[in-house]
Structure 1
Amino acid sequence: MTGAARTSTRDIARAAIRSELAHVAFDLFRREGFEKVTVNDLAAAAGVSRSTFLRYFGSKEDAVLGAVDAQGEQIADAVRARPADEDDWTALRRALDIVIRPHRQDTDGALAMSQLIMQTPALCARSQEKQNGWRPAIAQALAERDDPARPPTLGPLVRAAAAVDCLNIAVNHWTASDGRCDLDDLLDEAFAALAPR
């Protein structure tokens, strides 16, 4: 077995364990309430030590929001992949499909996750903090659409922030409707409200 294969197998195993720990944590948070559950409770429910749990997640918030970190780069990559002749605002809207895809694939699971986040101040604040961290990467991707060598100016940063806010508003409305509204339509409506006229 080569080093690359070993690393790949190790990464796959690590991702599987991380996913299982996140699933156990989410189930426990839904049953007991986020505030009542401790890291020790999470480790016990997963059948691992506290130190093992913390090796995969630095906090109980990260057990819920761990996937959010990678989404900023995924959105930025999706922006880069959009057609060059597409305007930035349309490219941003289409790039956000990568974030709302799980809402289409597992509506019940996504709704439960959104409800947990919205109903838990610590999770809501941490989610906002993580999403604010997306802005520079998205702005850089927008700037590269015009000139790959140019750093982002204020315009791409503002558009990136507005797009993330549109996403949050749409998801909040979707969650408040218990998933009855169409999330794509809500996101389209939010983007249309800020579209250049």
Structure 2
Amino acid sequence: MPLRDRKRQAVRTEVIAVAVDLFLDHGYEAVTVDQIAAAAGLSSRSFFRYFANKEAVFTQLLDETGTGIAERLAGRPPHEEPWLALRRAFDDVIEMLDDDDEENRRSLRTMRLIYDTPALYGSHLWKQTQWNRLLADALTSRPAATPSAEQRLHAGALAAAAVACFEYARAEWVDCGGTRPVSELLDLAMGAVHPLPDA
């Protein structure tokens, strides 16, 4: 990545962190773009060079998460059973959520905020439909070949089911206050749809 793009990404990452902290402390609706910009050391005009609005702070975070899961899926062994490959693609995200540290507690609070804020939850669900396509595309490229219409449909159904299982597992994790690991909840959710083969 060119230096200019790396600098831009660093600023976006910093603004996201600042904005999420403000949302968690004061509530999403109470925080303005001007407050986010000031806390991040930017002018309001500069903020809009990176984000269309304050909601875009969350959608950017969700974009990065979905892209990362799809990249890990694409990197799984090409002949691994697809349902297992999908499960393993979530491992890095789950590891972050299951870590018993401040970042874990922040993630829990952030997910509660998303679930409790209709505007954010709507964006959250919309982004997950985009995850479905990303994961379906990654599935149809394992092994690399031109997929048939039936293979694309099959991959899309598997991807959508896996994303739905992840969402239900994460929602349960939030409801129980993080007392049960997301890894355990996702195994249960995905196992209810189809048995997970041994790794």
The answer to whether the superposition gives a TM-score over 0.5 is yes
**TM-score, structure 1 as length reference:** 0.88
Match in the other structure for 2:26:
32
Q: Encode CA deviations 1:33-87: one digit per residue, 9 max, x unaligned.
A: 1012221222233232112111112221121331211333322222222223321
Is 1:94 the counterpart of 2:88? The answer is yes
Which residue identity is paired with 1:165?
A: A
What's the CA shift for 1:14? 1.8
Identity of aligned residues (%): 39
Q: Is the 8 A contact 2:98 2:183 kept in 1?
A: no
Is 1:180 the counterpart of 2:179? The answer is yes
Question: 4+ residue runs of structure 1 moved beyond 6 angstroms?
Answer: none
Residue correspondences, number: 191
Which residue identity is paired with 2:124?
A: S
Is 1:123 the counterpart of 2:123? The answer is no
Match in the other structure for 1:194:
193
Q: Encode CA deviations 1:114-153: one digit per residue, 9 max, x unaligned.
A: 1111111111110111111111221122122255222552
Is 1:110 the counterpart of 2:107? The answer is yes
Which residue identity is paired with 2:62?
A: V
Q: Secondary structure at the match of 1:47?
A: coil
Change (3 A) 1:148 1:71: farther
What's the CA shift for 1:196? 5.3
Which residue identity is paired with 1:97?
A: D
Paired with 2:169 and 2:83, the residues of 1 have a C-alpha distance of: 16
User: What residue ranges of structure 1 are gaps of 5+ in the alignment?
Assistant: 1-6
Q: Secondary structure at the match of 1:133?
A: helix
Which residue identity is paired with 1:167?
A: F
Q: Is the 8 A contact 1:25 1:64 kept in 2?
A: no
Paired with 2:66 and 2:24, the residues of 1 have a C-alpha distance of: 26
- Which among 14, 37, 46 is matched to residue 43 of structure 1? 37
Match in the other structure for 2:152:
153
Match in the other structure for 1:4:
none
Match in the other structure for 2:136:
139
**TM-score, structure 2 as length reference:** 0.87
C-alpha root-mean-square deviation of aligned residues, in Å?
1.9
What's the CA shift for 1:158? 0.8
Change (3 A) 1:77 1:23: closer
Query: Comparing 162-171 with 140-149, which one deviates more in the overlay?
Result: 140-149
Change (3 A) 1:64 1:73: closer
Q: Secondary structure at the match of 2:29?
A: helix
Q: Encode CA deviations 1:157-179: one digit per residue, 9 max, x unaligned.
A: 11111111011001100011111
Match in the other structure for 1:57:
51
